Structure 1
């Protein structure tokens, strides 16, 4: 994707771009995570069982993957502000519909529409962040934008639980819808004059044939499967290890989010050069962090520190892989980021599925050990990525 920019971009416009793109990622993370702490309240409000409400998460994930594969290439051809702004507005409408749901089927359909929007918004945000960054500052700018994931964990999820308990779960989706509309306006204004320079759409199968792309996507799949498989049992693992309440488990999630977010801010100051050796070092570090959980569960402070480091290293890993994919993508960044989003949401499905039998038999430390093995597989795959 080659971006055409009108005139010189001022620092103020650059700041608006970064804030709007960060808000877009925050919206995606919020919609993905917000239902977990309020699942029982939503089920009670819709007079159904919690597992039916959980189906809306599956609907969201499936729609996201399909949308990412079929629609994300729009960012390579159309004005970036209008594509991302429209996706954020559609997400806002889906959130408003979710908050207005009268039954679980309505909620599932609303979240499927949200997934359609996210399948464009998330890969588009990643591609636009890298493409509009000053040369040599791609990792720096992406680090700031990726902090939206940390904010969704540290701020949105606890706030959603607080609001649902005191005002009601429908207000959670109403506030998210309002934030989506504001973000849509920010994306349209901040990315005015920024457009993809590709006339013809690059189909996913052709993007996969770009040098290095397919192998890096395999690395991303092992990386994300390790993460989502581990994170699915992270809270329960901490609860069992330290006999914690739900609030106590939340401190570990916050520690992870802080590590992820602080390193994102650090990357905004320091702009590392993303090389093959850099990626290998980061992946090795992540593998060690997974393996270390075997020793960290004896002392609560040590486990909190391990969660903080885990979050920090995952920021470095995600940042490095996304920047590298964009470097290989040439003029098909939107399509490649769409493939990346499809791979990510496939890992959301595969991770817990792969890790569930291991957790049932041997607990969280064995899950983290398996995650370390998956990361090592990713390292071996990345050795041939150049």
Structure 2
């Protein structure tokens, strides 16, 4: 049975994700409200949001370890509500950009808190299944949130988008504050920061895999639309369909979390990362076949969900006492990779095309596959030692 705790956490991710993704489809409408501004100018707000989220996750996420993840999440959602309200009332573009920067600061605290609470409320032996459910919040933001944002902007006004998100954020803050028994983390008080969490044994190798994994995704995702629209000359609706299909695949993978719990994370990681590499190589081979690309986007969503689940689970289990700081590092790296992927893949796409980008992504997943194989071999060796003794 799905608890209200998981529903609240999933909805919180959906609101945060919707805000981060909604600006792109309504950028033209926003620009029309500010004379002399273009859609590209409006997207500066998205860039500021991403940088603020990364900085906040790096410097402020450890707040969840100091005051409790549920308190940190409630405060972050209230700040997000204020930021969204300011965005809805923005008289000039610079105030909208500043509001999105404030929203990024809130998101940088909220996301690690959500992941920390997910680990706390997960039943023993159902960690991956629980995390998979909460991660479907990203699917809701991608498939539902972006579509509703565009619809509200067309039917009412773009300011209605931020108004609705602000109202949902405050409702979630109230709901989470009234819930008790969120579980407890191991250990007592801690004054650790995300930077100090880098001293945790084993964390650096996992974070390097996260950086490569996220760069592989965001780099290719950034240039999927340009490839479909500019190279294949397909309509914008097809690019939107491809993104929606990816989101559906990401959400459809949620039930597979129970298989990870049943067969073990190390074995599942080997299969997941190997499968994701094959998907990237498939995207490289099907670069001129729109329908094949569409089908592979579905598989891409499934593979990305499983790989993300496994990396996040590994991080969450490293040190329960410093889980908020650890998840802060994860969120900071994720948002930095949004920029790194777009920057590093641009010359690849410009000079060699989308197929070369897909090949680069496959190679970036290779370290994660090697790490997973190493984990699996160590586990098998440990099991043999136990059987012999």
Q: Which TM-score applies when normalising by structure 1?
A: 0.91
Q: Work out the number of aligned pairs and report it.
A: 374
State how 1:1-80 maps to structure 2 within 5 Å.
Answer: 15-47=3-35, 48-80=37-69
Check the 8 A contact 1:274/1:324 in 2, yes or no.
no
Please, which moves more after superposition, 298-307 or 29-38?
A: 298-307
Aligned counterpart for 1:203 among listed residues 178, 193, 206: 193
The 1:346/1:384 distance shift into structure 2, 3 A limit, reads: farther
The alpha-carbon deviation at position 60 of structure 1 amounts to 0.8
In structure 2, runs of 5+ residues without a counterpart are 379-389
Q: Deviations over 1:284-332 (max 9, x none)?
A: 2111111111222444332221000000000001101001111112311
Task: Name 2:247's counterpart in structure 1.
Answer: 257
Task: Name 1:92's counterpart in structure 2.
Answer: 81
In structure 1, runs of 5+ residues without a counterpart are 1-10
State how 1:215-234 maps to structure 2 within 5 Å.
Answer: 215-234=205-224
**DSSP-derived class of the 1:72 partner:** coil
The two structures, once aligned, show a CA RMSD in angstroms of: 1.9
The alpha-carbon deviation at position 350 of structure 1 amounts to 0.3
In structure 2, what is the Cα distance between the partners aligned to 1:273 and 1:63? 39
Aligned counterpart for 2:320 among listed residues 326, 330, 339: 330
The alpha-carbon deviation at position 281 of structure 1 amounts to 2.3
The alpha-carbon deviation at position 195 of structure 1 amounts to 5.1
The 1:191/1:246 distance shift into structure 2, 3 A limit, reads: farther
**DSSP-derived class of the 1:34 partner:** helix
Please, which moves more after superposition, 279-288 or 221-230?
A: 279-288
Check the 8 A contact 2:206/2:311 in 1, yes or no.
yes
Asked whether 1:108 is paired with 2:108, we answer no
Check the 8 A contact 1:147/1:265 in 2, yes or no.
no
In structure 2, what is the Cα distance between the partners aligned to 1:383 and 1:209? 24
Please, which moves more after superposition, 313-322 or 240-249?
A: 240-249
The 1:154/1:265 distance shift into structure 2, 3 A limit, reads: farther
The 1:374/1:160 distance shift into structure 2, 3 A limit, reads: same
Task: Name 1:124's counterpart in structure 2.
Answer: 113
Q: Deviations over 1:60-109 (max 9, x none)?
A: 11111111112111212323322211111111111111111111210111
Asked whether 1:152 is paired with 2:141, we answer yes
In structure 1, what is the Cα distance between the partners aligned to 2:315 and 2:205? 10
In structure 2, what is the Cα distance between the partners aligned to 1:93 and 1:268? 38
Q: Deviations over 1:40-62 (max 9, x none)?
A: 11111122122221111111111
Q: Which TM-score applies when normalising by structure 2?
A: 0.91
The 1:203/1:270 distance shift into structure 2, 3 A limit, reads: closer
The alpha-carbon deviation at position 280 of structure 1 amounts to 2.7
